[in-house]
Structure 1
């Protein structure tokens, strides 16, 4: 069991050893879980995303980075960035595509998601509704503690469902802008923390994704999460649950570990032994439930600064490159 000196009023490892964590199960799916999500997916695929590519904002690590906007469900117009292989004599055609989600708090710039996992790749880095500089939507809180509760009264209105749809529509926008990526299994889905939880919910229903990589994913095993204190969005949900215990009926449809039981694509999960923001048992529950080929990379900690962090982050980058190279490389 990893131990760090910290000042949190709780144990961010929650007393679990690695042996304990690899045995954490997923909650059973509601009978209509798959029907609910397939219907949401079909709705998202009908959206005319009308992507608009902006001028080049940066060029580095072998890609040109443009601003991009696209339409998602409900007619919401969202923004983000599109990375394309840099032009020049050595430029190669696009062979791989990625949809890259972000953590809670959104993204203000492409940041560490560039360089991309593989060369000769294109990627869309969307800001989902309510989050980040290019995802602000009137009426949706842009702070995680408020965002995670927006519309939580029912499964139809919960913002998390629309954020998953934002990823599907981002994939549609990417394929429209880069037609070489059309077809089943041509895209990779990546996400960290909030984006990891959304990725687990998005992957099972979208045949365009050939593989996924989820880092310290949130929303795993909600019944267990509700018993575990944290500093992340889960604490806001725990507080809401104390006043509204009936919310468990909604959360059952937005459980990343439950969704993982429907993920048949190869998926690499990087899960942490110690994490104050996203309780490790929930992270491991996502990995443990995966229905298809799965790989696990154990991190000492997530959402926490520690000696050796840079080395571990470099190891994750290399593991991600090898993983996608085997599944999407061609």
Structure 2
């Protein structure tokens, strides 16, 4: 439970207004902190070559302006809403089931995985178990909206156990009537705050942590999270309450600053949300409860955010709003682009992997 939501013994709980006032002041202090890294360590502007988009995927922001994006304030009751879901998820026995996978890798034994999540949902995925030594660390890995057909082996440690869940409705967790097309998946029950599909995805992450701790109990206290794009946004929402994960990495996280996200030209699932919101403006009220930047205000774990200067699918101001909202130990890695191929991509990804190796070394 985030410390900010707890009242001192013998004192009444602070009002929601005072909670938001505290986090707003904390966020203002964070925005004045210097960037992690040496001067010139990151590109100040995107230089990714020509593109065919009918809009500018930098949206006119350079690095300095992105680091000044102020995160939105969460709606009254935000913490209580997510804490209630988290406590319910903790009561679920995930009953993880493993069977040998057809995949082979020199450093890992690969298992096909199933476990139980909320709403009786069976989640499919994979578990990687290191072959060199018993794992001391564990990671849950959240995928993007492109789905996941196999686990990645580009990982920050070869001596950790990794659990790759497929969020409900996607890849190994497909189930009617949820579409696995991102443009429709992201709209599933979007008009219902309690039933929006993203809430279920957050619960899939929480129950993934429970499943990993059942399979590798020795990793308790040494768990990390790796989430990209959809997995980055879902990760931020989950980490606001999750106390079992010690460190996290969010790469080009989506769902940041939903009100701004609705106004910026985009492609992919975000465009689908914009189109729907134009016809049903009331969904903006639902989206305020699913804002990764609002959730990031309550993340207490050290968190490394890799945010892009140029991104046609996840607008950079929303990504940086997530980073700017983090109140605790945070680290920024700036990518030239996200969701777009560019000449320096391979080199930047190698530097990011080395940064993650160092970041999680003390997990």
TM-score (norm 2): 0.86
Equivalent-residue separation in structure 1 for 2:255 and 2:73 (angstroms): 14
Deviations 1:198-220 (A, max 9, x none): 11111121111001000000000
- 2:274 corresponds to 1:235: no
TM-superposed CA distance for 1:58, in Å, is 2.8
The answer as to 2:112 corresponding to 1:67 is yes
Is the CA contact 2:185–2:197 (under 8 Å) kept in the aligned structure 1? yes
Deviation of 1:61 (Å):
5.1
1:62-211 equivalence runs, <5 A? 62-86=107-131, 91-110=132-151, 113-132=152-171, 134-182=172-220, 185-211=221-247
SS at match of 1:209: coil
Distance 2:90 2:248 in 1: 19
Q: Is the 8 A contact 1:117 1:317 kept in 2?
A: yes
Give yes or no for contact 1:52–1:69 (8 Å, CA) kept in 2: yes
Bigger mean CA deviation after superposition, 236-245 or 51-60: 51-60
Q: Please name the residue that 1:320 is paired with.
A: 356
Cα distance in structure 2, aligned partners of 1:61 and 1:299:
30
Separation in 2, partners of 1:105, 1:44: 26
CA contact (8 A) 1:260 1:289 kept: yes
Q: Write the distance in 1 (CA, Å) between the matches of 2:149 and 2:128.
A: 15
Post-superposition offset of 1:119? 3.2
RMSD of equivalent CA atoms: 1.1
Q: Distance in 2 between the 1:116 and 1:313 partners?
A: 11
Distance 2:156 2:268 in 1: 27
Per mean C-alpha deviation after superposition, the further-off stretch among 281-290 and 56-65 is 56-65
Which residue of 2 is the match for residue 311 of structure 1?
Answer: 347
Return the offset for 1:116.
2.8
Contact 1:101/1:191 (CA < 8 Å) preserved in 2?
A: yes
Could you list the per-position Cα deviations for residues 37-61 of structure 1 after superposition, in whole angstroms to 9, with x for gaps in the alignment?
A: 0111111111111110111433325
Structure 2 residue runs without a partner (length 5+): 1-44
Question: Of the two, which has the highest radius of gyration?
Answer: 2
Cα contact 1:105–1:142 (8 A) shared by 2: no
Q: Structure 1: which 5+ runs fail to align?
A: none
Corresponding residue of 1:217: 253
Residue 7 (structure 1) shift: 0.5
Moved more, 225-234 or 278-287: 225-234
Alignment of 1:249 with 2:297, yes or no, is no
Q: What displacement does 1:115 show?
A: 3.7
Equivalent residue for 1:42, pick from 87, 90, 94: 87
What is the CA–CA distance in structure 1 between the aligned matches of 2:106 and 2:287, rounded to whole Å?
A: 40
After TM superposition, the score normalised by the length of structure 1 is 0.94
Alignment partner, residue 314 of structure 2: 278
**Alpha carbons 2:155, 2:353 under 8 Å: kept:** no
CA shift digits 1:269-313 (9 cap, x unpaired)? 000000111100000000000011000000000111111211111
Distance in 2, Cα, partners of 1:136 & 1:26: 33
Q: What secondary structure, in the 3-state scheme, does the structure 1 residue paired with 2:56 have?
A: coil
